[in-house]
Structure 1
Amino acid sequence: MKLILIFVSLITITSAAMTFTLGAHETACFGVFTEKPRTAISYYFAVQSGGSFDIDFSIKNPRGEIVDSDTKQRQGDFVFNADLPGEYMLCFNNGMSTYADKVIDFEIKAENEDETKEFRANMPAQPNAKPMAHVESMGKTVDRIDQQLDGLLRTIQYYKTRNNRNQATVKSTESRIYYFSIFEVLLMVGMAGLQITVVQLFFKGSRKQLV
């Protein structure tokens, strides 16, 4: 079994989105490092193609304890609080597949409210600055817009996943119809040949009886 390790550090970035291919009998692990506790980490993944569009996954905290795990999941969208500072590992396992590779859309996003509050508290005072209430109202509006954009992104990803799966179903159906048609033609040719052979043997047997 092959093991692929991919590390995403939250020291420099707070989100990452990618699409990768996971081969049969392979495991891919994504590491997310956070320095502060009580960090909300959200994951989203969806199997775009391959096999039955399912994958096994598990999440481990810095102590190696399993936070969440499940098998044969087509997609997942969930959030958990990183109570312990350190590295959290999300692993995808394609061990149940004998030959099919899986194409997986994957996204990590972390939100640290403490850092946001600290940043707002340390904002320098401006001589012509608006009242703090207006600034907080603008911040709440920005947060709502961000949440709506996240919801829109999830909807787009959902339709993308459904489209890929429907295309895979159509291709699979076309392939089955094609091979079934070939089998039907070969069966008809074989039956015709068998009938000709039976007729020839019948007439040969009749001629021998006449002689």
Structure 2
Amino acid sequence: MRAVSALATGILLAAVARATALTSLLLANQRACFYADVDGIGEKIGFYFAVQSGGSFEIDWVVMDPDDKIVVEGDNERQGDFIFTAKKIGEYSFCFANEATATDKLVDFDIMVESEPRRVLSAQQAPLKEHTSALEESTYKLNGLLNSVTRTQKYFHTRHHRNYSTVISTQSRIFWLTLVECVAIIGMGLVQIWILKTFFSRSGNRRFKV
């Protein structure tokens, strides 16, 4: 049992992942870049982003390799979820550009660098191959379920922020529209009073001959 437990622990630790979850506020006409180091060719790089508030929730983005060559990019997109394989060792850059509109943007994003080294079973561990397969399958299933839950949480988190931003924007527009209507009504009332006062003043000064 100890051997099985140790082997299960080895399976769980076999996939080494470095993840970064951040939230960034991009001002109008601002460009921001974030970086992740890749230590080996073939590592998996995961990149997720979603615009939470600002404008029409769109933003320009680009991912570049250590040689500043574009790996993947997009213009005026609200969110994205990508996984690609690193072909070079070094520092990858993930950049956002808020240049389409004059409003600030709040962006949530995750950067994950994951490596999955192959396990080599020794002769003593060979009898545990069946247990290894079962544990490995269970681990992958749990990993898939956790990823599904994480994506669902991100989806609802993004919807909540966007709906909240829409509500705040609508309230602001209703407030200013109501204020303009009140000013217009008061102005029209004052104009009508002035017209009536002027009309009766002129009528009272008229003289008629008999």
The answer as to 2:31 corresponding to 1:34 is no
Q: TM-score, normalised by structure 2?
A: 0.84
The answer as to 2:201 corresponding to 1:204 is yes
Matches of 2:123 and 2:24, distance apart in 1: 43
Deviation at 1:173, TM superposition (A): 1.2
Matches of 2:174 and 2:106, distance apart in 1: 25
Identity of aligned residues (%): 36
Matches of 1:124 and 1:45, distance apart in 2: 45
Amino acid aligned to 1:36: G
- Structure 1 residues not aligned, in runs of 5+: 1-11
Partner of 1:69: 73
Partner of 2:186: 189
Q: How does 1:59-138 map to 2 (within 5 A)?
A: 59-98=63-102, 100-113=103-116, 115=117, 117=118, 120-121=119-120, 125=124, 131-138=128-135
Deviation at 1:136, TM superposition (A): 2.3
- Structure 2 residues not aligned, in runs of 5+: 1-15
Deviation at 1:194, TM superposition (A): 0.6
Extract structure 1 runs of 4+ deviating beyond 3 A.
122-126
Deviation at 1:55, TM superposition (A): 1.1
User: Comparing both chains, which one has the higher relative contact order based on Cα–Cα distances under 8 Å and sequence gaps of 6 or more?
Assistant: 2
Q: TM-score, normalised by structure 1?
A: 0.83
Q: 1:174 aligns with which of 152, 171, 176?
A: 171
Matches of 2:57 and 2:123, distance apart in 1: 51
| Paired residue secondary structure (1:64) | coil
Residues 13, 40 of structure 1: alpha-carbon distance in 2 compared, 3 angstrom cutoff: closer
Amino acid aligned to 1:27: R
Residue by residue, what CA displacement relative to the aligned partner does 1:54-112 show, whole Å, maximum 9, x if unpaired? 111001112211111111111111111112222211111112332x2221111112232
Q: CA RMSD, aligned part only?
A: 2.1
